Amino acid sequence: MERFTLDNGLRVVLAPDRSVPVVAVSVFYDVGMRNEPEGRTGFAHLFEHLMFQGSANVPKMEHARLVQAAGGTFNGSTHQDYTNYFEALPAEALERALFLEADRMAAPAITEENLRNQIDVVKEEIRVNVLNRPYGAFPWLQLPQIAFESFANTHDGYGSFVDLESSTVDDAADFFARYYAPGNAVLCIGGDLDVAETERLVQRWFGPVAAREVLPLPPTGEPRPTTVRSAVVEDALAPAPALALGWRVPDPVGDFDRYLGTVLLAELLSEGDASRLERRLVHDDRIAIAQSSYVGLFGDPFDVRDATLLTTQVHHPSAVPAERVQAAVHEEVRRIAEDGVPADELRRVQARTEAQLLRQADSVLGRTLGFASAELVHGRAELAGELAARLAAVTPEQVQAAAGDLDPGTAAVLELRATGGRR
């Protein structure tokens, strides 16, 4: 792996892999939902849309046409702590992807027409994915509101209609100037590439992008809670009630080894028919329809900074009280904290987690995105390739300690009541 930094501050990571004639290009900007200013909720996601509306030398729709004409694919996504854009193409089309990404890093087409159009697109997305879908906001938009205190961690990252509709071109231009500076980004290129030639192409296309001031990101960590916080929400579209429990977990960056124990605990609790909560809630007590546990708002424990949660969510029959489900979850966690984890059970969980990581890294694009995320969040792209070994080294004692951290007295508890669906 090779890395260098351009004069404008852009950090570049090259990950050569000559096994297949494919390259992947990814640009990760250090701005996500948690960085949005008050009154501009949803702006990180809105900006992801805006960045596909053309740029100084690329007319609208041309980005898609040029990538697809070369036989490639492209996309972007918004996360809590970053926004990314990426292409996977035949190796000979590398320069095309670099030109496209550099052009929109320099000058996206932020116009009144594009802004209004994309606000409408985002609003429709919210209607489809949140407002008109059973469990649309549960628990990812609703649980943080009771689990955390700061605006960064509690606000609706999809955005309120009021904030979106009132935003202006000046707001969008300010957001771009503030967060889309080269010095606030990581460019990661993987696949069938020659390092010297790729560095020359990166210098050619990204070197002229003007440097801009990069403001330090405000910390998103918060003091650990000392009490239970709870709320009840109603969902007229949901066919059955649900419960979500959220516990603060160790710092995913600053306390990484302890955090790994929590990641494996979540897997041990809920992944597969043999998992603790699947056996207890679904098969033995029959008080749940479905259950899952995961670390991180979107289920990827390695793409977040502090503060974050281990979340357990359970969908249960309406005849089963939420309190009974909650008590059973706490009891299973307490058993692990008190009795520990058999080594063979942990090995099964580690093997499954390693297989998941290998599947994610199976493609050139998957590996490149993993490297870019690790570089941006952890400052070490190499960590992406070390995760399987780091998880395999976690001991039963670390998982037991992680369970001990899930104190019933500090959980955030969100109860969803199905008020209009099938009972």
Write out the DSSP string of 278-308.
Answer: IIIIIIIS---SEEEEEESTTS-TTS--SS-
Query: 266 near 300, Cβ under 8 Å?
Result: no
How far apart, in whole angstroms, are the C-alpha atoms of residue 173 and residue 166?
Answer: 14
Low-confidence ranges of the chain (pLDDT < 50): 422-423
Q: What phi, psi does 252 have (nearest 5°)? A: -65, -15
Q: Which domains does the chain have, with CATH numbers?
A: 2-207 (3.30.830.10), 229-418 (3.30.830.10)
Q: What is the pLDDT of residues 15-44, one digit of tens each?
A: 999 999 999 999 999 999 999 989 999 999
Q: What is the pTM of this model?
A: 0.95
Sorted by sequence, the CB contacts under 8 Å of residue 129 that are 6+ apart come out as 136, 158
Write out the DSSP string of 107-155.
Answer: -B---HHHHHHHHHHHHHHHIIIIITSTTTTTTTTTHHHHH--SHHHHS
Query: 413 near 228, Cβ under 8 Å?
Result: yes
CA torsion 109-52-62-87 (nearest 10°) is 130
How far apart, in whole angstroms, are the C-alpha atoms of residue 398 and residue 313?
Answer: 23
pLDDT for the residue 298: 84
Q: What is the pLDDT of residues 138-159, one digit of tens each?
A: 999 999 999 999 999 999 999 9
pLDDT for the residue 423: 43
How far apart, in whole angstroms, are the C-alpha atoms of residue 69 and residue 96?
Answer: 11
pLDDT for the residue 297: 87
48 exposure class (CB count in 10 Å sphere: 0-12, 13-18, 19+): buried
Reduced to 3 states (helix: H, G, I; strand: E, B; else coil), residue 273 is: coil
